[in-house]
């Protein structure tokens, strides 16, 4: 188990993280999400031992994670950390980058391992290409393969799919997270992408301005968000007064959770219809509020409709 206990950190006298605590079971995929600048990347670096804590402790099993004050070479040997800058060697090939830390004592096993990793990140055809000739997304996939090479106990991923094309991203995510589960590698991913969280994470930690907001399973977080901020991390969301649904508190509803009905107290006027492939996203006005809902057809601007929860 990885334990983060009351961790606080300052950078240039500015609070970056404040009293953050959580625990991660071995083999789990744990997502950290939040707006830019909330402390996600800093938290990963602290968990890897790149910085010294101002207060608190971090443990993997019974071993404390310590920073540069205690380690000549920062970083923990049983962890691997994938930063956003990739750190590839530009003048050697993709295969050589991936196999950089693998032993040369068994060349056939090394070759097979490199091939396996390149297949996971869909870079087999670029094995003999020098890293300097790759695109940003291709470099990111090679960097992913390299951190997996020695099968770490703990893997820290900072926005691991940020440079990868959307058409390839979904396939890569499925292959990578399936592999991590199969190998029982404890994985912490800092991300702004709700798909990483909803489809693959066992648990989610929401950060805001360096503080822990909530920690839950992704399905619970999505279905019952505790705030507009939390809900907005998963896409377009509406904050609607609970009075329209006979509820005491405001409701945070995603567009697909609203539907047109014959009559209700929630009366809106259509402003625009956005084609989204399998449906239209309808933008409406209700008093001073903007409300979005999904519909199978476009709706003419100015049309008045009534909405309710599905």
Distances (CA, A) of 58 to 6, 48, 50, 269: 9, 9, 12, 52
Q: In sequence order, which residues have a C-beta less than 8 Å from that of residue 290 and are 6 or more positions away? A: 271, 283, 284
pLDDT confidence of residue 85: 82
pLDDT confidence of residue 195: 81
Alpha helices in 9-101 (DSSP H): 40-48, 94-98
pLDDT confidence of residue 288: 86
Q: In sequence order, which residues have a C-beta less than 8 Å from that of residue 18 and are 6 or more positions away? A: 8, 210, 211
CA distance linking residue 151 with residue 74, whole number of Å: 19
pLDDT confidence of residue 72: 83
Q: Which two tokens stand for residue 55?
A: 């207060």
Q: Is the dihedral of CA 188, 190, 194, 196 positive or negative?
A: negative
pLDDT confidence of residue 94: 96
| pTM, 2 dp | 0.91
Q: What is the pLDDT of residues 35-77, one digit of tens each?
A: 988 999 999 999 999 999 999 999 999 899 999 998 888 889 8
pLDDT confidence of residue 83: 87
Can you list the residues of the chain whose pLDDT is less than 50? none
């Amino acid at each position: 188990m990885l334990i983060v206990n009351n961790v606080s950190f300052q950078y240039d006298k500015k609070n970056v993280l404040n009293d953050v605590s959580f625990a991660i079971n071995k083999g789990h995929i744990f997502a950290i999400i939040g707006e830019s600048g909330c402390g996600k990347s800093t938290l990963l670096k602290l968990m890897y031992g790149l910085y010294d804590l101002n207060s608190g402790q971090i443990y993997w099993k019974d071993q404390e994670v310590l920073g540069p004050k205690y380690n000549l070479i920062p970083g923990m040997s049983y962890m691997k950390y994938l930063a956003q800058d990739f750190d590839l060697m530009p003048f050697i090939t993709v295969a050589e980058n991936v196999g950089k830390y693998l032993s040369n004592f068994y060349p056939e096993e090394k070759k097979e391992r490199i091939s396996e990793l390149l297949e996971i990140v869909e870079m087999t055809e670029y094995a003999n290409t020098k890293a300097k000739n790759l695109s940003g997304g291709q470099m990111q996939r090679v960097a992913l393969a390299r951190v997996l090479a020695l099968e770490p106990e703990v893997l820290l991923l900072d926005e691991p799919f940020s440079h990868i094309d959307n058409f390839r991203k979904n396939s890569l995510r499925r292959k990578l997270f399936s592999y991590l589960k199969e190998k029982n590698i404890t994985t912490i991913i800092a991300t702004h992408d709700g798909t990483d969280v909803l489809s693959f994470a066992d648990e989610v930690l929401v950060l805001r301005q360096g503080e822990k907001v909530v920690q839950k399973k992704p399905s619970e977080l999505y279905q019952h968000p505790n705030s507009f901020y939390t809900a907005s991390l998963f896409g377009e969301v509406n904050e609607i007064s609970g009075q329209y649904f006979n509820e005491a508190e405001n409701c945070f509803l995603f567009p697909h959770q609203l539907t047109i009905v014959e009559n209700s107290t929630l009366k809106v006027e259509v402003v625009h219809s956005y084609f989204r492939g399998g449906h239209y996203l309808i933008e409406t006005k209700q008093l001073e509020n903007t409300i979005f809902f999904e519909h199978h057809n476009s709706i003419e601007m100015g049309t008045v409709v009534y909405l309710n929860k599905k």
